[in-house]
Each structure stands twice: as structure tokens, then as C-alpha cells.
Chain A
């Protein structure tokens, strides 16, 4: 079974600074990997996803993530954080088989300071 670890519970970044949110997964085969963002009281918004191919994935809102199989990681990055990026970020892992659920990490809360 797959699992996800997000080591950082809460991160504070200054506006304009770079951001990296960590995600490590456990899965025996090639995983499907996702990053979602959730604002308070809202549903999930997909930032980006990795299925195969280029290991550097571009997403919405200027986010990118890099799949590193050797490290079982899929870290999310953004070169310059905006105050509106403050939210909860979830990494999730799935498989390439239909009918399997996504498993979510515990999430990382991002605060942006001015």
C-alpha cells in the first residue's frame, strides 16, 4: 500500500522569498503524485501532477515539483511566494490502476509574512 509523509507541519516564508515543501512517498511501483492546495473552508485545488515522463512538473500559480525516484520525493517549489499563497498544502500518492484511492499526507500549513 502507498503512503505519504510531509515532514513539515507548518512553514512560514517571507513574501517574495522562495518556497520548498517536502513530500516523501512510499510505493513499490511508479506512483502517481499530486499536490493540492486548500484554503480555509474550501475544497481542494489541484496544483500539479506527475504520472510519467519529465520529472520536473509545472503547475498552476507558478508552482513546480520535481519527482526524484532515488529519494522517493516529490517536493513542491515556488521561486517567489505571494501573500495569497498562504494555505494548506497536501501531497497525495496514487497508482496507475483505475479504482484505487489517493492517499494524502498530513499537510503543510504555509504562512506568508510581510
Chain B
């Protein structure tokens, strides 16, 4: 299957700083990428849909000014957690679809674990 890579896999930062997480589709172009958030022992919640060359679409309750999403190319989307606080500590997972024969199939990155001290 198609490969989606996230970086960094783990990041620890101080409260008030900003953290950027990258999501890359390694062997296909992704017009749309998705960002999910997973709290400990909970399910994946869709945060936003990232569209190449346009503004991201955020799910209800997700602060767009806090979670900045940029999808500057067909292979890269970034999620920046601005002015991070301990409650932002979570597992962030991105996904992308390669289209083709199964347009609705998504491939997931390995996830990025953010810890805010």
C-alpha cells in the first residue's frame, strides 16, 4: 500500500511554545490529507481536512487558530500546535488517500506523540 510518513514521532515541548508536525505522502500525491487526534485510551477524532492549495476545513470544536494546518504541496501537510499547553498533549495522526481504484481508502502515518510540559 501507499506510504504516509510523519515527523517527528515524538516531541516534548514547554508550555507556550509552538510545535510543527509534518505529514508526507512518500509514493503518491495527495490532494487531501486528514489530521486526527487521539487522547489516551480513546478513539481517533477527526480534527481537520487539509486541502492542497486552500484553507483547511476544521471539525466543530477544533480551534483553527491553535491548530494551524498548511498543505503547500501534493505530498506535504503540516500541523502546527501554537502556544501549546499541557491539555494539547496527545497523539496526532495524519492520513491521506491515493485515489485510484479505491478513492475512499486512506493510508495512515505512524503518528506523532506530543507532550507539553
Which chain B residues lie closer than 8 Å to A44 at the CB level? 44, 93, 108, 111
How many pairs, one residue from A and one from B, have CB atoms within 8 Å of each other in the complex?
64
Give the Cβ gap from B77 to chain A, nearest Cβ, in Å.
13
Which residues 34-59 in B have Cβ within 8 Å of A in the complex? 34, 36, 41-46, 49, 51
Which chain A residues lie closer than 8 Å to B49 at the CB level? 99, 101
Give the Cβ gap from B60 to chain A, nearest Cβ, in Å.
12
Q: Tell which of B12-20, B66-74, B98-106 binds the partner.
A: B98-106
30 A-B residue pairs with Cβ-Cβ distance under 8 Å, sorted by A, are: A32-B102, A32-B105, A36-B108, A43-B93, A43-B109, A43-B111, A44-B44, A44-B111, A46-B108, A90-B43, A94-B106, A95-B104, A96-B102, A96-B104, A98-B31, A98-B32, A98-B104, A99-B32, A99-B49, A99-B103, A100-B104, A101-B34, A101-B49, A101-B106, A102-B34, A102-B95, A104-B43, A104-B45, A106-B42, A106-B43
